[in-house]
Homo-oligomer: A and B are copies of this chain.
Amino acid sequence: MTTEGKTVGELAALVGGRVVAGDETTRINRVASVEGAGAGDIVFVEGEKFLEGARESQASCVIVPQGAKLEGTACVIEAARPKLAFALMAEVLHHRKRFGGLIHPAANIAASAQVGDGVYVGAGVCVGVGARVGAGTQIHAGVIIGDDVTIGRDCVLHPNVVLYDGVTLGDGVILHAGVAVGADGFGYVRDEAGAYRKFPQVGTVIIEDDVEIGAHSCVDRGALGETRIGRGTKIDNLVQVAHNVRIGERVVIASQTGISGSTVIEDDAVIGGQVGMGDHARVERGAVVGSKAGILPGKIVRAGTVVWGIPVRPLDEYKRLNAHFGRLPRMREEIDQLKKQVKDLAAQLSGKGKQ
């Protein structure tokens, strides 16, 4: 990251905000936390309860929600959504490093590969036969790009990413260190002798525009068709995406989640960390799956629902069941007491019968 300054007035204009205190020509160099900020920094507060902390911040500017009262700080910008405003400002203050089309002499680019304008290629990078790399893309050291791979414009491939032959990335894709795209899916057939023979893994992977994938996550190629990750989807570190999975647009998947073969996650779903999904499952549009949940093969999680547990149930139901689980010892005691009472009653009744 590198930074370049903007004035408070420029930043406010960028996000449709309003400077309500201070000198709008004040220069801002970077975003910061309320506690860690110093001169030249801008910070944000989301709600009233954080205003107190902001008053003591050394930041040069604070973004606050509309109508919030904040005095004693150099500059104040009101914005409808301070956190979003802050993120948008960070995009201009901390832009990506620019490398101006540098191709490292220790890179290995096949003669038939097409590399666009302004592409950065770091040391030790390999770009395979017939590969195409769009303008402005950054390929950092140690990245291995197979044959016939297609990469869009303005992507960033961090060090040691591996793209197997034939996979496709759209524009603006960010892959963090070590991401592996296009390894064989995990499919075998036992032969007559009991040995596992590889089911063909000859499909491909398509990653659409503006997808970001965290370090060491794996996206396997389709067995016969494709594995696809939709536009604007964000995937955390160490996530497993198996063969023929289809993930929609604007899906969020937290760390260490695993998605088995041919499962579908529709647009705008939110998936927690360490979730496991069996094969051929479906998470419908906008559904939310809590961390560590387990989704059975073939299961459908309905659109817009929130589910949790192993196996998943509606969140409210699961929480209620968990509460009951925690009271099992009490239930046990009550049953024992009932047994005793019933026995006593029976004895009394039998005694009366004899009377």
Contact A321 B332 (CB under 8 A): no
Contact B324 A329 (CB under 8 A): yes
Identical copies of this chain, number: 3
- For A332, the chain B residues whose CB sits under 8 A away are 324, 331
- For A294, the chain B residues whose CB sits under 8 A away are 274, 291-292
Among A19-27, A68-76, A131-139, A217-225, the stretch in contact with B? A217-225
Q: Say if the beta carbon of A94 comes within 8 Å of chain B.
A: yes
Contact A256 B258 (CB under 8 A): yes
Which A residues between 271 and 286 are near B, CB-CB below 8 angstroms? 273-274, 276, 278
Known: A255-B240, A321-B325, A339-B334. A31 touches B202 (CB 8 A): yes
Among A4-12, A47-55, A122-130, A298-306, the stretch in contact with B? A122-130
- Minimum distance in angstroms from A223 CB to a CB of chain B: 8
Q: Say if the beta carbon of A87 comes within 8 Å of chain B.
A: yes
Q: Across the interface, name the chain B residue whose C-beta is closest to A226.
A: B36
Contact B124 A142 (CB under 8 A): yes
Partner among B180, B338, B341, B348 whose Cβ is within 8 Å of the Cβ of A216: B180
- Minimum distance in angstroms from A294 CB to a CB of chain B: 5
Contact A33 B200 (CB under 8 A): no
Q: Say if the beta carbon of A346 comes within 8 Å of chain B.
A: yes
Partner among B256, B339, B345 whose Cβ is within 8 Å of the Cβ of A345: B345
Tell me, in angstroms, the Cα distance from A255 to B263 when the chains sit together. Answer: 15
Q: Say if the beta carbon of A197 comes within 8 Å of chain B.
A: yes
Q: Say if the beta carbon of A144 comes within 8 Å of chain B.
A: yes
Which A residues between 310 and 327 are near B, CB-CB below 8 angstroms? 310-311, 313, 320-322, 324-326
Tell me, in angstroms, the Cα distance from A218 to B235 when the chains sit together. Answer: 14
Q: Say if the beta carbon of A91 comes within 8 Å of chain B.
A: yes
Which A residues between 181 and 237 are near B, CB-CB below 8 angstroms? 183-184, 186, 188-192, 194-200, 202, 210, 212, 214-216, 218, 220, 224-225, 232, 234, 236-237
Contact A349 B345 (CB under 8 A): yes
Q: Say if the beta carbon of A260 comes within 8 Å of chain B.
A: yes
One digit per residue, 1 when the CB lies within 8 angstroms of any chain B CB and 0 when it does not, for chain A 339-354 equals: 1011001101100110
Tell me, in angstroms, the Cα distance from A189 to B278 when the chains sit together. Answer: 29
Which residues of A pack against B, CB within 8 Å?
1, 30-33, 35-36, 81, 83-84, 86-88, 90-91, 94, 104, 106, 108, 122-124, 126, 140-142, 144, 158-160, 162, 164-165, 174, 176-178, 180, 183-184, 186, 188-192, 194-200, 202, 210, 212, 214-216, 218, 220, 224-225, 232, 234, 236-238, 240, 242, 250, 252, 254-256, 258, 260, 268, 273-274, 276, 278, 291-292, 294, 310-311, 313, 320-322, 324-326, 328-329, 331-332, 334-335, 338-339, 341-342, 345-346, 348-349, 352-353
